Every structure is written in C-alpha cells, then in structure tokens.
A and B are shown apart, each in its own frame.
Chain A
Amino acid sequence: MGNVAIKANALIKWFGEGETKTIAVKSASFEANFGELLYIVGPSGSGKTTLLSMISGILKPNEGSVLVEGKDIWQMKSDDIADLRLHKIGFVFQDYHLFPRLTTVENVAIPLILKKMDWNEAIKVALEYLEIVGLKDRAQLQPVKLSGGEQQRVAIARAIAGHPDILIFDEPTASLDGDTGRKIVEFIKTKILNAERCVIIVTHDSRIYEYADSIMKMEDGNIIGFERNTLHVA
C-alpha cells in the first residue's frame, strides 16, 4: 500500500431544492491509495456515480473537499481542474461513450490529442495501447462494429493512453456477460494496476469482488462500510 491518491473529506452533494431536494451523497469520507484496487459497491441510486464524479473533478460537491495527490481540487480554477482530469485521471464511463464517427484508434488517441500531441504520433501511441488491450487488428474499424467486450476494452485503452495516475471505472462489467466481465477486471488487475496507480471501480457485480483490494459499501448516500477484501485472490 503506497501513498494516498485521493482523499475525500465529508463530501455532501444534493440535487434540486425544497420539495424535490435529493441528497445523493451524505458526508462521505475515505482514502484511496496508490497500488490499490478499490471497489465502490452498493445498490443502484446509492450515490456511487455522484461520489466518483466529485472525487474526479467532474461534479462540484456542495460541501467537503477532495485532495488529489494532496491538492484540493475544488479550490482550483475550472481550466486547471480540466487539466488535472486530462493529465492525472482516466475515465471509463458507464456506457463507454466512444465516438461513433471516429475509428477505434482515433478514439483511443483522444486524450493524447487533447494533450496536444501531434496527430500521427498520437495515433502511433494509441495503436500501442490497442495492442495492450488486444485489439490492434480492429484499429481502423468504427466502434459500432465491435462487440460490447471489445468496446469496453477500447474505452479502457482510451482511459490509460493518457498515462493517468488514477483510473476510474463506472460499472465496467454491467453490460457484459459474466465471462467477459471477469476477463476485463482480471486484465485491469494484472496489466493496468501497478504501484504508481490507483484504480477505483464502481460495481454491483458480485461476480468480480474477488479481485478487489478494498471494498467500500454505499447505501442511500452513506458509506456504510470500508474493508480490506477477505475474498482477495492475488
């Protein structure tokens, strides 16, 4: 277990006002470390995506603070937060969000291009990442031509192509069959996680719990448990 990657302090987030006010996250505090594969689990609507968004600089909390590698991100200007997301954090969204009008390799190159890497160079590097996820031969296809598992791998390649320290996956296996989901997580665990990285996975897929280092449970906006994984395999 290495240094602290993310530290959340008493995060609160609500939506709407008055009658319609929903408190999505109620005073959440936790730490995620480098070298750790952290799961956030809990039923649908328990506030997992909201919490992920706050710790990754996507959604501003109503109260509380988030330290990413020691920096209080919600004190930063919005362009600086965007830069932090670009350089430090890799996302795999709930439903991939690949660009249908771009080829697979161009999709993977997006973070590199946003980092102002030259186009050809970015495509070259993206190809290497496609190779890592085993999809080099699909580079010139449009994402819609790929299966769900393959699309998920493209999304992973895109998330890691920018060399982020922190990787965030929102329900990566939700729309995959059990076998594919297991393979994806196995891949994340063995190929992507390392001592310099922190990987956070939101899931309520109990079939993949065994890969977690720690599991944080949420219910109704509260963190109701944080434990070292007892099912831990590796």
Chain B
Amino acid sequence: MSGILKIALKLLVNDRSKFIALLVGITFAVFLMIMMMSMFSGILSRSSSSVYNIGAKIWVMDPAVNNATSSIPMPDYVLSTARSIDGVKYAVPIYFGNALVKLKSGAYQAVSVVGLDDATLYGRPELIEGKIEDIYAESAFFVVKDAEFKKLESPAIGTEFEINDHRGLVVGLAKVASGGLFGIPTVYTTYNRAITYIPSMRFTTSYILIEPKHDTDIPFIQQQIKKLGYQALTRDQFVNKISDFYTYQTGMGMNVLMMTAISFIVGLSISGQTFYTFILENMERFGALKAIGAKGHELIAMILFQASFTALIGYGLGVGLASGLMILAKLRLPSYAAQVTYTNLIFAFVMVLIMAGVSSYIGVRKVLQIQPFDIFRG
C-alpha cells in the first residue's frame, strides 16, 4: 500500500468512534437491504418450485394462470391437439391439487398432490426410497421428504393414511430440488388416482407438459397453442410470469422495493453524515498535507480510499450479519424462505458503492476547497 494511503487509513481507523459509527451505518443498511431482497428472492424461488421440480420444457395453461398452484383446468381436446402439433415429441397432462390427509394420530394435514401422467410418469421426482413402478400399486403415493415431511408424522414405506376419505399407502420417499412456499407437504401419485381421489370440476388437466423435438420447434408450438386460446410457456417464461405476479400484483415487490430504498437512504444519511463530519474534523490535517506539498489527486485518493475501505468492511459485516441471521432462522425453521443470491449481493454492493461515492464526493469537494493559507495563518 502506498504510504499516503496508509496515512489515510490511520487517520480513519485511529478515530475509533467515528470509524465505528461509519461502519454501523453501512453495515445496518447492507444488512437490511440483503435481508429484504433475500426474503423476496426466497419467496420468488419457492413460488416457482413446482415448475422447477417437474422440469418440463413447455407448460401449456389457461392464459389467466399466474401462479403454479392455482391452475385452471383445461378440456381434453387441448391435449389431443397439442399431441398433433408438428415438433411435439410428446405431450402429457399433469394434475396439481390439494387434499386433506388424516394421519394415524387422528390429526388432519393439508397436502398438495401432484398427479403424474399414468403412461409416462413425466415429471416424476427422484426417489430416495422405493421403486418407481410401485406408484401403480393400489392407493400408492410417494411422499416428498422435504422440510414439511415431519408434518405427515415422518411416514415410511408401508405407512397408511387417509386422503380425502380414501385409503393411501406410502410406497416411496422422494426428493425434489426446491421446497414450496406454502409450508405443506407434497405427495405424488398417478394422474388417474389423483383425479379420482380429489373432487374436481368437469375438466381435470391442470397443465399440459410438452417435450419438443428440438428447441427450435418451441416458437411454432407456442403459436399453435395460442390459436387454441391457450398459452404455451417455456419453463423460464412461466417462472417469470409467476415472479411478476408476486412482484407486481401482490404488493410484495413494492414493499421490498420501498424497504430497500429506505435502508439505502438511512444507510446513506448515517454514513454520509458521519463521513462528512470526519472530513470536516480533518480539514486541518488535509490542509497541512496540502501546505507541505500533497497534490490534489493525492488528497482525492486518500478520501476515496477512506470511503471505499469503510464501505467494503461495512458491506462484509452487513452480508455476514444477514447470512448469519438467515442460517440461524433456518436452524429453527427449516422451510424459512430466504436466499442470498448473487444478484442481491451485487445490488447491495452497488448501493454501497453509491454510498461511498456520494460520501467521497462531498468530502473531495470540501477538501479541494481548503486554502492551505488558512491553515498557515492558524
């Protein structure tokens, strides 16, 4: 490190109380921003968990669907038409629904039920216990072993339960990539069993999953589905649609945006103020340096260094604090929906850089105005 930056560092760090105040301001702002954005990301990614878990390339749905779990059943002709579109390798129905399970203890527990196409089992989860063929056995269900698994009293293969007054039998345990948002367990069965067990309206197909022959066929398939009055979305498009729904139509996005903005403003004002006071208190030092022969760009480098050093440490502390709290929360609440994403980290980092930038700008302006003569005169 160049000597002049070392001086800058000592001037900053040896002023304990002000340095700590600066760190607290930035740490606090980063902490709040990361927490808010991570909760939001967590919720968003959970809200699309079924889309990720099923893994199909194309999802056909009613255009009014905006959320994976609230599907609108489609008539059977959509499926048969989809199968006849050029470029479709295969198209299968999938069922999403909810049911009430009565456990051995006599307690009731809501579950979400995924019904897989009987012929292909397309979209099936990865099994950790049991054999996939067993799903065709009488009353057979796979239970997803996720954070909500305990709510079904941790069943094993052979455990029986009642589901909507029908008998259910656990034939396997499955795992999925991502847990759901609503804190209820998930079970898988065949499409036909699902629609027999769960009361439904005239139509039963929640979504049609399509595997295209080539990815280049996707636009044509989408076009053809559109002609039917339905919508075919790629996985990413569907995920975006769900995210948009939560972000813009539930008020959640707005709240997160507001909280993030407030954290930023609070952080900026605390750290900006403190840094400004710090610069003011050190005017004499900067003036003396200037009189001795420090050049303008050296003083600017000192201030930028002080601001960015504080910003980086505050950023590290804030990220650490937020991650620590999330780890703690996850220990207590396994399905706690918060995730620190690179986007969040980068966003918070940019915000911190802006804080440092604004603070240094004020500082630099002040310091460049210093007349060493005023120092000299005493």
Q: Are A85 and B378 in contact, CB atoms less than 8 angstroms apart? A: no
- Is B137 on the interface with A (CB-CB < 8 A)? no
- CB-CB nearest in chain B for A13: B373
Interchain nearest-CB distance for A175 vs B (Å): 10
Q: Are B373 and A97 in contact, CB atoms less than 8 angstroms apart? A: no
Partner of A93, one of B10, B298, B378: B378
- Is A195 on the interface with B (CB-CB < 8 A)? no
Residues from chain A with a CB closer than 8 A to the CB of B290 are 82
Q: Are B292 and A49 in contact, CB atoms less than 8 angstroms apart? A: no
Residues from chain A with a CB closer than 8 A to the CB of B372 are 58
Residues from chain B with a CB closer than 8 A to the CB of A122 are 3
Contacts A58-B291, A114-B292 given; does A95 touch B378 at CB 8 Å = yes
Residues from chain A with a CB closer than 8 A to the CB of B3 are 109, 113-114, 116-119, 122
Q: Bound state CA distance, A83 and B290, in angstroms?
A: 10
- CB-CB nearest in chain A for B4: A113
Q: Are B294 and A82 in contact, CB atoms less than 8 angstroms apart? A: yes
Q: Bound state CA distance, A50 and B2, in angstroms?
A: 34
- Chain A interface residue bracket vs B: 35 or more
The interface on chain B, measured as residues whose beta carbon lies within 8 A of the other chain's beta carbons, has a size of 29
Partner of A79, one of B295, B373, B375, B377: B295
Q: Bound state CA distance, A120 and B377, in angstroms?
A: 32
Q: Are A82 and B293 in contact, CB atoms less than 8 angstroms apart? A: yes
Of A29-37, A99-107, A178-186, A218-226, the segment with at least 4 beta carbons within 8 Å of chain B is A99-107
Interchain nearest-CB distance for B126 vs A (Å): 59
Residues from chain B with a CB closer than 8 A to the CB of A113 are 3-4, 6-7
Q: Are A114 and B293 in contact, CB atoms less than 8 angstroms apart? A: yes
Interchain nearest-CB distance for A222 vs B (Å): 19
Interchain nearest-CB distance for B34 vs A (Å): 32
Partner of A114, one of B14, B289, B376: B289
Among A109-146, those with CB < 8 Å from B are: 109-111, 113-114, 116-119, 122
Partner of A111, one of B293, B295, B376: B293
Contacts A52-B376, A110-B7 given; does A93 touch B288 at CB 8 Å = yes
Residues from chain B with a CB closer than 8 A to the CB of A211 are none
Q: Bound state CA distance, A113 and B295, in angstroms?
A: 13
- Is A3 on the interface with B (CB-CB < 8 A)? no
Partner of A91, one of B2, B371, B376: B376
Q: Bound state CA distance, A78 and B297, in angstroms?
A: 12
Partner of B284, one of A78, A79, A97: A97
Q: Bound state CA distance, A118 and B4, in angstroms?
A: 10
Residues from chain A with a CB closer than 8 A to the CB of B292 are 85-86, 91, 110-111, 114, 162
Q: Are A91 and B291 in contact, CB atoms less than 8 angstroms apart? A: yes
- Is A59 on the interface with B (CB-CB < 8 A)? yes
List residues of B whose CB falls within 8 A of some A CB: 2-4, 6-7, 10-11, 14-15, 284-285, 287-296, 298, 371-373, 375-378
- Can you pick out 12 interface pairs between chain A and chain B where the beta carbons lie within 8 Å of each other? A53-B377, A58-B291, A58-B373, A58-B376, A59-B373, A93-B288, A101-B10, A101-B11, A106-B7, A114-B293, A114-B298, A117-B3
Other contacts beyond A110-B292, A114-B293: 9, CB < 8 A: A53-B373, A53-B377, A84-B293, A93-B376, A94-B378, A97-B284, A97-B287, A102-B7, A117-B3
